Structure 1
Amino acid sequence: MRRPVRPVLLVFALSSSLPSWAGSLQVAVAANFTAPFQALAPLFEQATGHQAVGAFAATGQLYAQIRHGAPFEVLLSADSSTPRRLIEEGEGVAASRFTYATGKLVLWSAQPDYLDGTPAALHAGKFRHLAIANPQTAPYGLAALQTLEQLGLREHLAERLVEGQSISQTQQFIASGNAELGFIALAQVYRDGRISSGSAWQVPANLHTPLHQDALLLNRGRDNPAAQAWLDFLQSPQAAEVIRAFGYDLAD
């Protein structure tokens, strides 16, 4: 007696209707770019059929993971030096590197009236804790230290600094009230053309090293069409609109 074949045919029909070219890629994403990536990923899938899966951490942490064999195929760094370093170390495709966004640093407080759009609260010093990301692993943390140095406040406030391992953890310190204020990425609190919550001072770009954020095709992604498709999509007008909406500048 023969077994029924209808279920097998049904499975075949369903599977054959899927795009044979659709794939996926693993993207190492700097923590400051978490929200934009989460907005871009479904648009990318709609446009190409490919799926981008992100892992989020400080750039220095992502670098260490890549060097230790993590299966990432594309890096979205928070700086330009880390991709250059990976290229020099033979981990990335030199011709693929480009600046996908230029970030902005803000001093932010979860309290609506704590900051008045200036660094006055820093100079007044009426707070217990000032949060920054670890400057050894997070470019935004390094930019925060450079800003304090330019303001002449680095030594004066050194004992009040609390460090997050990433810019995401730094924001959590401030949002929870464990730090009255701190330096984070504008993209973390910027929606619809304004600061979405709390109060802030947008740090002038001349107070720190420019936050040029570079993308890089890693060696593991060389033969993955989805990886190249993601890099192409990231440079498209559709992606540019999303990136600008989170307060980033774009390279010419």
Structure 2
Amino acid sequence: MQRLAPLFASLLFALPAHAGEVSVAVAANFTAPMQKIAAEFEKDTGHRAQLAFGATGKFYAQIAHGAPFEVLLAADDETPARLEHEQLAAPATRFTYAIGKLVLWSPREGYVDDRGEVLTKGDFKHLAIANPRTAPYGTAAVEAMRKLGVFDALQPRFVQGENIAQAYQFVATGNAELGFVALSQVLKDGKLASGSAWPVPASLHAPIRQDAVALARGRHNPAVQALLAYLKGDKARAIIKSYGYDL
């Protein structure tokens, strides 16, 4: 046992002092990258991020009603700004951690063309989108369809998900032939994992600026400060970029 004592001591001192936990509300489009970032964050800092995924609008309502989140990673920049204005977020902590990209995707090879003309020429019955009232990617999809002049014709075919993760599931499971999803959901190792996709031109919708903010409940938690700093670091930024986001 005496010989093991130095080993135990070295392991103890290798861990960061005062390692803690941080409760994070994460926009559904950022599920995969945040899971990877959280694992690296715990490995590098000792702090643990407890993650919940969902629609940004739903998270706003939950936070306004006292939900115990300490950080919000939103799918837009308006919700964190609103929380800041309403004093539900810590001042001077908000920043853009990613700029999202919208794609029209189908699991069928060659079904979605490189101009998105399938929207007017396709024989599909169902088109999946996220709820535009609560999910910024849904809002962007509606903006794009309006600019393309196809919204009214396509609206009867909508299959609406509560968030972008549910919209993706509708397409992936065949409940919709195609849908507007986040680019991050259909990439693997920087390439389209399956099917066919049309990256929606940024000119067709407002930029999907995704902001992070510390919430009032977490303003004094060192793990909150550590996570926000980690998101700005090289390792996290490389992960974010690998999922197709701009920085």
**The residue matched to 1:22 in structure 2 has which SS?**
coil
Aligned counterparts of 1:225 and 1:91: Cα–Cα separation in 2: 18
Aligned counterparts of 1:43 and 1:33: Cα–Cα separation in 2: 15
- Which of 72, 91, 116 is equivalent to 2:88? 91
Counterpart of 1:241 in structure 2 is 238
Please tell me the residue identity of whatever aligns with 1:227: V
Name structure 1 gaps, 5 residues minimum: 1-9
Given the two structures, how large is their TM-score scaled by the length of structure 1?
Answer: 0.91
- Which of 12, 16, 39 is equivalent to 1:42? 39
Counterpart of 2:53 in structure 1 is 56
Aligned counterparts of 1:20 and 1:248: Cα–Cα separation in 2: 33
**Residues 167, 179 of structure 2: 8 Å contact kept:** yes
Deviations 1:99-123 (A, max 9, x none): 0000000000011121122211101
Please tell me the residue identity of whatever aligns with 1:111: R
Please tell me the residue identity of whatever aligns with 2:227: W
Please tell me the residue identity of whatever aligns with 2:19: A
The answer as to 2:158 corresponding to 1:164 is no
Q: Aligned residues, how many?
A: 239
Deviations 1:108-154 (A, max 9, x none): 00111211222111011411011100000000000000010011000
- Map 1:189-228 to 2 at 5 A: 189-228=186-225
Please tell me the residue identity of whatever aligns with 2:27: A
Deviations 1:205-228 (A, max 9, x none): 010010000000000111100000
Given the two structures, how large is their TM-score scaled by the length of structure 2?
Answer: 0.93
Please tell me the residue identity of whatever aligns with 2:182: A
- Which of 140, 145, 148 is equivalent to 1:148? 145
Deviations 1:188-211 (A, max 9, x none): 011222111111000000100100
- Out of 180-189 and 106-115, give the one that drifted further: 106-115
**The residue matched to 2:88 in structure 1 has which SS?**
coil
Name structure 2 gaps, 5 residues minimum: none
Q: Which has the larger radius of gyration?
A: 1
Q: Percent identity?
A: 56
Structure 1 stretches of 4+ with a deviation exceeding 2 A read: 16-20
